[in-house]
Amino acid sequence: MKILVVNAGSSSLKYQLIDMEGEKVIAKGLVERIGMPQPGHQKQTVGGKVYEVSGVMIENHVQATEMMLKALQDPEKGAIRSMVEIGAVGHRVLHGGTKFSESVIVNDKVKDAIRECIPLGPLHNPANLMGIEACEKVMPETPQVAVFDTAFHQTMPPKAYMYGVPKKYFTQYGVRKYGFHGTSHRYVSKRVCEFLGISPMGQRIIICHLGNGSSLSAVVDGKCVDTSMGLTPLDGLLMGTRCGTLDPAVVQFIANNENMTVDEVLNMMNKQSGLLGIGGKSNDMRDVDAAADNYDGDAMLARDMLVYGIQKYIGSYAAAMHGVDMIVFTAGIGENNAALRERVMTGMEWLGAKLSHARNASCADGKATECVISTDDSKVKILVIPTNEEIMIARDTLELVTK
Ligand code: ADP
């Protein structure tokens, strides 16, 4: 069966068509600038063939979905002859609140529940819903599945997910830690055990998902027990443009001094902070590294803050799990930036984690493959496992529609 994986953002639609026989990606595409005043852009690759459209106004997600299906069925540069070849569609949905701890087949009740979670994911959930509804409209006979970014973290115990504010805010509004990147944490924590040929039972794993958005998770017996992102993805590590954890009083302090609203401060903390806000030049770790290697003080500070933050989380999760058996790096920075991994693991020998410099260095710069990067005598195994959220979404979708 061929499964279409859709990741609908507020102004973009990313997709992959995966042939589940051999789990091969047969088409990859992106439709950008949906609903924007300027013309949009579409690019799709199928093998070496590139299909591109630019200069057309893309009014909404229905139009973007039609463009996606047209490109997929293009006689020269497409991947399928007809839409009926698509067995099902799997959608990435940001926030499932406490309603979803697993992926589900989309029906009216599921859509209502995703809608009810909009206050928790105000930017993404409406876009995810638009993606689902656009597919329903354009391909009404094809089953749709929703896969939630929050679902994997639903196994956290209350002591990990509750915040120390009066409990009524939890009961009334669901204010608590939810965590994100769950599909990635689930894929990597499962895959690392398959790769080593061991059972997840008895394993205490720390997953470091380091990308433009970053989060860590602590996984015991294959289940998440803690994670660094919170009610929203703003919490936790310093990220590309997000500040990560700070004293909440900073919000009030800046709002009062700069005459800003809370929303404006939060916007600044989401979009102008992190590596960009401290380093001053870019949210991309490659730029920060280049500047820091050139002794730019702000870039060096941004990098130091990121490394220090990761080390502190690793230490606290090791304490929370009463030990650690594996530390796994994934996502853009985790998979490609060997120097960053080296910085993080320096001084971690107290934990029983010893990096092999040679193994680490050979797993870098776009050549990331699954590999062990610790020494043979390291008590804690350190690994790189490239994440694959799309395959996880496709597998969930296949499983649900063939049940
Ligand atoms: P997102 O959260 O948007 O999915 P990614 O997982 O793609 O982000 O990660 C983006 C980060 O990964 C950037 O900071 C970038 O510097 C880093 N990165 C991506 N590819 C490479 C590479 N080949 N070498 C070094 N760093 C990389």
pLDDT (tens digit, 9 = 90+) per residue, 91-147?
A: 999 999 999 999 999 999 999 999 999 988 888 899 999 999 999 999 999 999 999
Same domain, 338 and 228: yes
Ligand 1 in reach of 179 Cβ (< 6 A): no
- Tell me, yes or no, whether 349 lies in a domain: yes
* Residue to probe by mutation, ligand 1, list 239, 285, 390, most atoms within 8 Å of CB: 285
- Tell me, yes or no, whether 397 lies in a domain: no
Same domain, 112 and 202: no
Q: How far apart are CA 347 and CA 186, in angstroms?
A: 28
What percentage of residues in the chain have a pLDDT greater than 90? 95
- Tell me, yes or no, whether 142 lies in a domain: yes
User: Cβ distance 69 to 96 under 8 Å?
Assistant: no
For residue 209, is pLDDT > 80?
yes
The domain tally of the chain equals 2
**DSSP assigned state of 54:** E
Q: What CATH number does residue 13 fall under?
A: 3.30.420.40
Ligand 1 in reach of 144 Cβ (< 6 A): no
Please report the pLDDT score of residue 302 as a whole number.
98
For residue 31, is pLDDT > 90?
yes
Q: How far is CA 214 from CA 234, 286, 322, in A?
A: 10, 15, 24
Q: Domain of 376?
A: 198-389
What's the 358 CA to ligand 1 centre distance in angstroms?
22
What's the 332 CA to ligand 1 centre distance in angstroms?
3
- Does residue 112 carry a catalytic annotation? no
- According to DSSP, the residues that pair with 4 across neighbouring strands are 17, 89
Same domain, 228 and 375: yes
- Tell me, yes or no, whether 183 lies in a domain: no
Backbone angles phi, psi at 296, to 5 degrees: -70, 120
**DSSP assigned state of 350:** G
- Tell me, yes or no, whether 178 lies in a domain: no
What's the pLDDT band for 367 if we cut at 50, 70, 90? Answer: low
User: Cβ distance 107 to 114 under 8 Å?
Assistant: no
Helix/strand/coil for 388: coil
Ligand 1 in reach of 238 Cβ (< 6 A): no
What's the pLDDT band for 306 if we cut at 50, 70, 90? Answer: very high
Please report the pLDDT score of residue 154 as a whole number.
97
What value does the mean pLDDT of the chain take?
96
Helix/strand/coil for 60: coil
Report DSSP letters for 364-381, one per residue.
-TT---SEE-B-TT-SSE
- Tell me, yes or no, whether 377 lies in a domain: yes
Q: Which residues contact 400 (CB under 8 A, 6 or more apart)?
A: 88, 103, 104, 105, 143, 145
Same domain, 43 and 137: yes
Please report the pLDDT score of residue 265 as a whole number.
97
Same domain, 122 and 218: no
What's the 333 CA to ligand 1 centre distance in angstroms?
5
Q: What pTM did the predictor assign?
A: 0.94
- Tell me, yes or no, whether 163 lies in a domain: no
Please report the pLDDT score of residue 32 as a whole number.
94
Same domain, 121 and 246: no
Same domain, 237 and 377: yes
Please report the pLDDT score of residue 313 as a whole number.
98
Same domain, 71 and 214: no
Please report the pLDDT score of residue 151 as a whole number.
97
What's the 211 CA to ligand 1 centre distance in angstroms?
5
- Tell me, yes or no, whether 169 lies in a domain: no
Helix (H) or strand (E) segment spanning residue 31: strand 24-32
Please report the pLDDT score of residue 252 as a whole number.
98
For residue 323, is pLDDT > 70?
yes
Mean per-residue pLDDT for 31-57? 95
Ligand 1 in reach of 213 Cβ (< 6 A): yes
Q: How far apart are CA 77 and CA 330, in angstroms?
A: 32
Ligand 1 in reach of 37 Cβ (< 6 A): no
Q: How far is CA 356 from CA 35, 73, 310, 365, 372, in A?
A: 49, 48, 19, 17, 9
Same domain, 244 and 381: yes
Same domain, 255 and 378: yes
Choose the final residue of a domain: 115, 148, 181: 148
Q: How far apart are CA 320 and CA 305, in angstroms?
A: 22
User: Cβ distance 206 to 327 under 8 Å?
Assistant: yes
Ligand 1 in reach of 276 Cβ (< 6 A): no
For residue 282, is pLDDT > 90?
yes
Mean per-residue pLDDT for 382-402? 97
User: Cβ distance 353 to 379 under 8 Å?
Assistant: yes
Same domain, 253 and 113: no
Choose the final residue of a domain: 90, 122, 148: 148
Choose the final residue of a domain: 148, 166, 189: 148
Mean per-residue pLDDT for 333-342? 97
Residue tagged active-site, from 74, 108, 112, 149: 149
Same domain, 129 and 62: yes
